[in-house]
Amino acid sequence: MSRKLKKGYFVRGEFIAEGSERDLELKRELKGTDEQSRTELKRESTELQKLGEDLLTLRTELMARLPLSEKLKDAVLEAKRITNFEGKRRQMQFIGKLMRLVEPAVLDDVRTALTEQQGGSAQDNLRLHQAELWRDRLLADDDALGTWLTTHATTDAQQLRALIRQARKDAQPEKAGAAVRHGRAYRDVFQIVREQLEHVPEPEADTALTHDADQRP
């Protein structure tokens, strides 16, 4: 009875049966990478894409701290401006490609900055509290705007004044006894105050707010 021949091929005099372990090994070498390596590369690519997306959420002062290329920083700023879904998707893919060029040490810096933002340092929490106090004071006290502008001269006074007026208008209940509802202007006042506090040295910010707090009845 004749024995059925195995399908295969020869490599440097060695017969390689199709489907054998040696056959699979040679095919992996031919492709330049094995399945596990491809999986790891895909996982790394996905992580870098997500890391690039997270850059869009990073606070201004944390972003400025990172040693990223101007090309990547510009790409992130552009992504923030894009509102079209498809345009945003393409821009995020571009950011993902740029992230693959970032040095591992810098990627660690990005992760550290995101962790700091997510966890919130004591200084960040204090600044947020200060921003809330300033927002409430600006909306409640006409004289507070002058005090604010004295210590935060780079504020767009006209814009802030208009937002304060709108926030006060929005807060007026439509019916007597109805709950107060805050609109977009209320949030925008907080955003302006918070961004200004980010650029003020901590002692100065503390002093200005403490002084205002002491003047309260």
What tens digit of pLDDT does each residue of 116-163 get?
Answer: 887 766 677 788 889 999 999 999 999 999 999 999 999 999 999 999
User: Region 102-117: what's the mean pLDDT?
Assistant: 88
Q: Check residues 165 and 18 and name the one with the higher pLDDT.
A: 165
State mean pLDDT over 165-190: 83
Is 29's pLDDT higher than 70? no
111 with 161, same domain?
no
Domain co-membership, 39 together with 67: yes
Q: Are residues 115 and 148 in the same domain?
A: no
pLDDT of residue 61: 85
Q: What is the pLDDT of residue 215?
A: 47
In a domain, 12, yes or no: no
Task: Judge whether residue 213 has pLDDT over 50.
Answer: no
Question: 153 is written with which tokens?
Answer: 């001269």
Q: Which two tokens stand for residue 29?
A: 């070498």
Domain membership of residue 85 as a residue range: 35-119
Q: Is 8 inside a domain boundary?
A: no
Does pLDDT of 34 surpass 60?
no
Boundary (domain end) residue, out of 119, 139, 162: 119
119, 152, 170: which is the final residue of a domain?
119
pLDDT higher than 60, residue 105: yes
- The amino acid present at 142, given as its one-letter code, is D
- At 181-194, the pLDDT tens digits run 788 899 999 999 99
> Do residues 209 and 217 touch, judged by C-beta distance below 8 A?
no
Contact between residue 167 and residue 189 where contact means Cβ atoms under 8 Å apart: yes
pLDDT for res 120: 64
Q: How confident is the model at residue 91 (pLDDT cuts 50, 70, 90)?
A: very high
- With bands split at pLDDT 50, 70 and 90, how would you rate the model's confidence at 205? very low
Question: 190 in a domain, yes or no?
Answer: yes
How far does CA 104 lie from the centroid of its chain?
A: 19
* pLDDT for residue 134: 95
Do 177 and 114 sit in the same domain of this protein? no
Q: Position of tokens 């990547």?
A: 72
Q: In this structure, are strands 8-11 and 14-17 parallel, antiparallel, or unpaired?
A: antiparallel
Q: How far apart are CA 123 and CA 198, in angstroms?
A: 10
Which comes out higher in pLDDT, residue 122 or 24? 24
CA–CA separation, 28 vs 30, rounded Å? 5
Please tell me whether residue 57 adopts helix, strand or coil conformation.
Answer: coil
CATH number at residue 136: 1.10.60.30
Tokens of 9: 């091929």
- Answer with the one of 69, 102, 119 that is the final residue of a domain: 119
Please tell me whether residues 131 and 93 are part of one structural domain.
no
Distance CA 76, CA 172 (A): 38
Total domains in the fold of the chain: 2
> Does 203 score more than 60 pLDDT?
no
Question: Are 132 and 114 members of one domain?
Answer: no
State residue 206's pLDDT score: 46
User: Of 22-26, 83-87, 197-201, which has the strongest mean pLDDT?
Assistant: 83-87
The chain-wide mean pLDDT, for the chain, equals 81
Tell me the two tokens of residue 175. 């019916």
The residue with greater pLDDT, 166 or 11, is 166
d(CA 38, CA 66): 30
